[in-house]
Homo-oligomer: A and B are copies of this chain.
Amino acid sequence: MLQKRNAVLVDGVVLNGPIMDAKAGEKFVEEACKIIMEEVIQKADDVTEKVCEWRDPETLKQILDLEMRDTGESHQKLLQLCRDVIQYSVKTSHPRFFNQLYAGIDYYSLVARFITEALNPSVYTYEVSPVFLLVEESVIKKMIEFIGWEEGDGIFNPGGSVSNMYAMNLARYRFCPEIKEKGLSALPRLVLFTSEECHYSMKKAASFLGIGTENVYFIKTDERGKMIPEELEKQVQRARKEGSAPFLVCATAGTTVLGAFDPLDKIADICEKHGLWLHVDASWGGSALISRKHCRLLHGIHRADSVAWNPHKMLLAGIQCCALLVKDNSGLLKNCYSAKAAYLFQQDKFYDVSYDTGDKSIQCSRRPDAFKFWLMWKALGTTGLEERVNRALALARYLVEEIKKRDGFQLLLEPEYANVCFWYIPPSLRKMEDGPEFWQKLHQVAPIIKERMMKKGSMMLGYQPHRGKVNFFRQVVISPQVSREDMDFLLDEIELLAKDL
């Protein structure tokens, strides 16, 4: 493709013309897109496909040609590699993928993601990301409306864990702005409160931010996994007595394992009384705000100072799509995070630089994650999003009732949300007496069933031990591709896989 005439050589490199063969590149993209369409997108709703084609790590290494070499591969070889990558990857959009807090496929969000990958933007200044910055502003405004604040601020982040970190640092900044410059070394011990059932990112955040995991005071929860407000009050008083500095309560709206919602209104009372920042980790449960039927789960959330909410979970916006929303609209977020890099955030630009919002972020390059949520919202409308939430929770309800009807299945608790936690007690254990031996044996059941379902590829479902309870399944219902037939299949399949246990 080089223009040989008038070639300019510098350091032995010909500088005329581009070095890429654009036509061949475009053809490669077209061929690969065809594979993606046929092997991923068109199979997304097909239950006869496997959820995964399981290979253990050593075998998979043999199959995939992982090594990067001095010379490149042919397009033909590369397309085969793409096929292999798809074949051996887990199909998270499969109607029977229930393993995580995300699942399914949304065609609109997917298109938005293809657009942003092709445009390859970074969202920090209006000059390089005009559309995506306006879209982010507008999505944040809409999410704030659903929280019930009159105004606010916010930013999209690479994950709910990062959103929780943002909130923790922001609460600390409001508590003592000098920490930004001075650090924590001369200060009393900062203490924050969250429930025993909180996401593990609270510990990661406390450690990363220099607060220390021991200064996270875990508040007891009731039998449904909800923070007990009286226990919170006690712990705040304890911290005060110790001479430490309480600054933050992190409530959870939709806990990871049980799907529990902390009583936000009562917690907000305590925060108000003690002057503590209230952050609500609604990464998982936030999407219920879209549903007029289920938004009561988050009653009181308008009293929070900040909220983490991940539309990539129940709303299917694609990983990652995570907003931190902040009630303050006086510039707290920017003051807390800004570093005023002169090479990026020039103040003598020819447009209104208040649109250069990148300095609110701990990141420099940042992906336009709001856009995929926006396009999906435009496509489905609020009622379409609401329908998703209502249906997921109705399916969860259906599953709960079916579990109650079947021998050998035992609910851990009546769920509030889309996490349905249950044990499967295989035939050989059904007549055993309740006691340590029974639970010890039951503990081993879920891992065996999990191994069998993975190797068969029929579905994917998570299990875990949890706070003294032996291994149980956690079924998470999300995808609009899922129907009650899939719920029935799930229970039938567990029985089938475990019939000899």
**A272 shortest CB reach to chain B, Å:** 26
B212 and A182 within 8 A (CB): yes
Known: A102-B365, A169-B207. 14 other contacts (CB 8 A): A10-B394, A36-B118, A60-B134, A78-B378, A90-B127, A90-B128, A114-B114, A117-B117, A169-B208, A185-B190, A199-B364, A200-B339, A319-B365, A343-B474
Q: For the complex, what is the distance from the CA of A371 to the CA of B66, rounded to whole Å? A: 11
Chain multiplicity (copies):
2
Given contacts A26-B37, A128-B90, A134-B61, contact A11 B393 (CB under 8 A): yes
Looking at A68-76, A297-305, A434-442, the stretch in contact with chain B turns out to be: A68-76
**A134 shortest CB reach to chain B, Å:** 6
Residue A275 CB within 8 A of the other chain = no
Residues in B whose Cβ lies below 8 Å from that of A129: 89-90
Encoded as 1 (CB less than 8 Å from any B CB) or 0, chain A from 158 to 196 comes to: 111110010001001000000111111111111000000
Residue A337 CB within 8 A of the other chain = yes
Question: Across chains A and B, which 6 residue pairs bring their CB atoms closest together, nearest first?
Answer: A210-B210, A183-B212, A25-B107, A158-B158, A15-B484, A72-B381
| A93, A200, A352, A395 interface centre (most CB from chain B within 10 Å) | A200
Looking at A220-228, A261-269, A447-455, the stretch in contact with chain B turns out to be: A447-455
Q: For the complex, what is the distance from the CA of A393 to the CA of B12, rounded to whole Å? A: 11
Q: For the complex, what is the distance from the CA of A482 to the CA of B20, rounded to whole Å? A: 10
Q: For the complex, what is the distance from the CA of A108 to the CA of B179, rounded to whole Å? A: 45
A346 and B447 within 8 A (CB): yes
A204 and B464 within 8 A (CB): no
Q: For the complex, what is the distance from the CA of A451 to the CA of B41, rounded to whole Å? A: 43
Residue A235 CB within 8 A of the other chain = no
Residue A410 CB within 8 A of the other chain = no
B293 and A11 within 8 A (CB): yes
Q: For the complex, what is the distance from the CA of A52 to the CA of B125, rounded to whole Å? A: 14
**A498 shortest CB reach to chain B, Å:** 15
Q: For the complex, what is the distance from the CA of A387 to the CA of B370, rounded to whole Å? A: 36
Residues in B whose Cβ lies below 8 Å from that of A411: none
A396's nearest neighbour on chain B, judged by CB, is B10
B381 and A57 within 8 A (CB): no
A108 and B365 within 8 A (CB): no
Looking at A80-88, A147-155, A325-333, A425-433, the stretch in contact with chain B turns out to be: A80-88
Residues in B whose Cβ lies below 8 Å from that of A463: 346
Looking at A27-35, A246-254, A489-497, the stretch in contact with chain B turns out to be: A27-35
Residue A237 CB within 8 A of the other chain = no
Within the complex, which residue of B45, B213, B363, B485 is in contact with A181, where a contact is CB–CB below 8 Å? B213
Residues in B whose Cβ lies below 8 Å from that of A215: 183
Residues in B whose Cβ lies below 8 Å from that of A362: 161-162, 165, 201, 204-205, 208
B89 and A111 within 8 A (CB): no
Residue A135 CB within 8 A of the other chain = yes
**A124 shortest CB reach to chain B, Å:** 9
Q: For the complex, what is the distance from the CA of A285 to the CA of B481, rounded to whole Å? A: 46
A391 and B184 within 8 A (CB): no
Q: For the complex, what is the distance from the CA of A10 to the CA of B115, rounded to whole Å? A: 37
Q: For the complex, what is the distance from the CA of A271 to the CA of B388, rounded to whole Å? A: 56
